[in-house]
A and B are shown apart, each in its own frame.
Chain A
C-alpha cells in the first residue's frame, strides 16, 4: 500500500527515480537563469516545448529598463523555441497553472518554491532551481528522491471566521519551518471534502514553509467538478491504508483566526494576542490568497465602508480580475478605498509596487514574512483574508467578525 507520492512516482519512499516530467514552468525571475544555463549547456532546441511554460509574474510590468531588457530577451526566446508564454497581466505562475492546466497524477516542476501549491490537484508538484529546470527543458525528465509522507488529517468543518489560510498557519505553526523537510504533506480525512479547490491551493501553497517537497490532496468530487469547469476530465484518487512517516491531526471546528508574527512563518499566534498592532499597509493577494474566493470574501467585509490604512489588492490572475470585475467585487474593493494592482506577485517579493519603508508594518495574506522580504526594515504579519479585511478597516490588527 502506498502514499500518493509513491503511487505517482511509482517507487517506495527513499528511492531515487528518473521520471519524465508532464509540465515544467519558470517565471520572469527564474526564467532568465534557466535561459542562461541552457546557453551554457549548448542546448538550442527544446524537445517537448508543449510541456513547458514561461509565466511573467514576479515584476510585471517591468519596473526598470534592466528588467525590461531581461523580459524582452525571454519573450523572444519563448517565441523562437515554441514555448507558451503567459505575458504580463496573465497572473501568478501557480494560479495560471491551476486554471485547467494541471491534472491529477501528473508530475509537475516549477522553478519556484511554491510549486507545491499544485499538489492540490493530486499531482506531484515541486519546486526546483533554474539549473535543474534547464536540464529538464533539455531532456524532458529529471531525478527525484521519493519522499516520505506526513499525513495531515482534517476533521470537521471550518466555521465562519476561520479560513483555509488559518488552517495553513496552524499546521506550519505545529510542524515548524523544517518539520517536514524532504517529506511530502498529504491532506486527507473527513474534513478534506468540505474544502474548496481555492482553499486546497492555499493549504498546499504553504507546505514548503515546513520544508516539505510538496503538499497534496487526493483528487475527489471537488477536484473533478472544478476541472470539469475547464473542460478537463480526470479520475478520482483513493487514499490507501499505509505507512506515513508522521501524522498531524487538525480539528477544523477548533481553528481560530491566526497570524504569523515577524520574522518567522512558524511563530503563529491567535489574532486576539496581537490585536491593536498599528499597521502602515495591508496587502491582499499572492499565490496563497489572491483567488476570486479571497477577493470576494474581502469585498463582502469592506463593502460600503472605508479602509483606514493604505490597502493594496492584487488579483492572482487575469481570470480572477475578470471574475471580480464581472461580479461587482472589484467595484466594492475600489469604492472602499483600496488600490488595485496588475495581476501578478505584486509587492510579495519586495521588488516593486508596494515595497515597505524602514520600520513600516504590513499585514499580508502571503506566505512568507522573512526579515526585509518586502523592503529593508519592514515588518510583515501574515493572516487570512478576513483578518486582513477587518484590519484594513481599523488600521490595526483586528479579529474578523465571528471570531
Chain B
C-alpha cells in the first residue's frame, strides 16, 4: 500500500463539520460533497486537493461520524492523510472507503513532495523519512482491496 502527492497542510482538531457542512449531507450524489469540501474553512483549498497528501495536526477528523467527510476527501482526489493522531470514527471510515490514513509525526511544508509506503512503514516529506504507526493486518487488507465494499465482495 503506497502513494504519493504534494503536501497540503491543515491544523489540529479539523472536525468533520468543517470538512463537509451539515447542509450538504442530504443527497446521494457524491460529487456534491467534493464540490463543497472545506467551503467554510477556505474555499481556495478544494482545487489544491487533487493528487494531494494532507498533512494535518492532531485529532484529525473529530466530531460527527458523517462518512461523507472521507468520501468528499477521496472524491476530491486526496491520495492519503498523514496526522499524529486521528479521531477514531474518521480513521475507520477512511479505511472503509479505501483512503489511506497514516499515523506519523511529520513537519509540514506546503507543496512538499510526500511519499508513503504502509507495508514498509514509512512516510517521506521532501526525501526525509519518518516512521509510521502500523495498521492492523485487517485494516491493511481492507485498504488494499480498495475499501470495505470491495473487500466484502472479494470474500464472498
Residue A130 at the B interface, CB < 8 A? yes
- Bitwise interface map of B from 82 to 95 toward A, beta carbon under 8 Å scored 1, else 0: 00010111001100
Q: A30-B66, A113-B89, A181-B87 are in contact. Are A351 and B152 (CB under 8 A)?
A: no
Shortest C-beta distance, A186 to chain B (Å), equals: 17
Complex formed: what's the CA distance from A66 to B148 in Å? 28
Which A150-198 residues sit within 8 Å CB-CB of chain B?
177-178, 181-182
Nearest opposing residue in chain A for B58, CB measure: A178
Q: A41-B153, A66-B27, A177-B59 are in contact. Are A131 and B148 (CB under 8 A)?
A: yes
Decide if B68 touches A177 in the complex (CB within 8 Å): no
User: A30, A132, A181, A370: which contacts B148 (Cβ < 8 A)?
Assistant: A132
Decide if B65 touches A128 in the complex (CB within 8 Å): yes
Complex formed: what's the CA distance from A127 to B13 in Å? 18
Nearest opposing residue in chain A for B98, CB measure: A131
Residue B21 at the A interface, CB < 8 A? yes
Residue A373 at the B interface, CB < 8 A? yes
Decide if A132 touches B96 in the complex (CB within 8 Å): yes
User: B59, B66, B149: which contacts A178 (Cβ < 8 A)?
Assistant: B59
Residue B121 at the A interface, CB < 8 A? no
User: B63, B85, B153: which contacts A370 (Cβ < 8 A)?
Assistant: B63
Residue A200 at the B interface, CB < 8 A? no
Q: A129-B89, A130-B67, A211-B62 are in contact. Are A135 and B136 (CB under 8 A)?
A: no
Given the complex, which residues of B lie within 8 Å of A112, measured CB to CB?
A: 64-65
Decide if B63 touches A351 in the complex (CB within 8 Å): no
Given the complex, which residues of B lie within 8 Å of A182, measured CB to CB?
A: 88
Give the interface size class of chain A. 35 or more
Interface centre among A41, A66, A350 (most CB of B within 10 A): A41
Decide if B138 touches A143 in the complex (CB within 8 Å): yes
Given the complex, which residues of B lie within 8 Å of A111, measured CB to CB?
A: 65
Decide if A59 touches B26 in the complex (CB within 8 Å): yes
Q: A182-B88, A211-B59 are in contact. Are A373 and B22 (CB under 8 A)?
A: yes
Shortest C-beta distance, A326 to chain B (Å), equals: 33
Complex formed: what's the CA distance from A350 to B66 in Å? 14
Decide if B67 touches A351 in the complex (CB within 8 Å): no
Given the complex, which residues of B lie within 8 Å of A40, measured CB to CB?
A: 149
Complex formed: what's the CA distance from A372 to B21 in Å? 8
Decide if A349 touches B22 in the complex (CB within 8 Å): yes
Residue B25 at the A interface, CB < 8 A? yes
Complex formed: what's the CA distance from A134 to B97 in Å? 12
Q: A30-B65, A177-B13 are in contact. Are A37 and B149 (CB under 8 A)?
A: yes
Decide if A370 touches B26 in the complex (CB within 8 Å): no
User: B88, B97, B138: which contacts A181 (Cβ < 8 A)?
Assistant: B88
Complex formed: what's the CA distance from A132 to B17 in Å? 20
Given the complex, which residues of A lie within 8 Å of B26, measured CB to CB?
A: 29, 32, 59, 64, 66-67, 70, 351
Complex formed: what's the CA distance from A181 to B138 in Å? 21
Q: List 16 A-B contacts (CB under 8 A).
A: A16-B136, A29-B66, A30-B67, A36-B28, A112-B65, A128-B65, A129-B70, A131-B93, A131-B96, A131-B147, A178-B13, A213-B88, A351-B26, A371-B17, A371-B18, A372-B21
With A36-B28, A371-B40, A372-B18 already in contact, 9 other A-B pairs whose C-beta atoms are closer than 8 Å: A67-B26, A113-B63, A113-B64, A127-B65, A131-B93, A131-B147, A177-B62, A178-B87, A181-B87
**Which residues from chain B sit less than 8 Å from chain A, CB to CB?**
13, 15, 17-18, 21-23, 25-28, 40, 58-59, 62-68, 70, 85, 87-89, 92-93, 96-97, 136, 138, 147-149, 152-153, 156
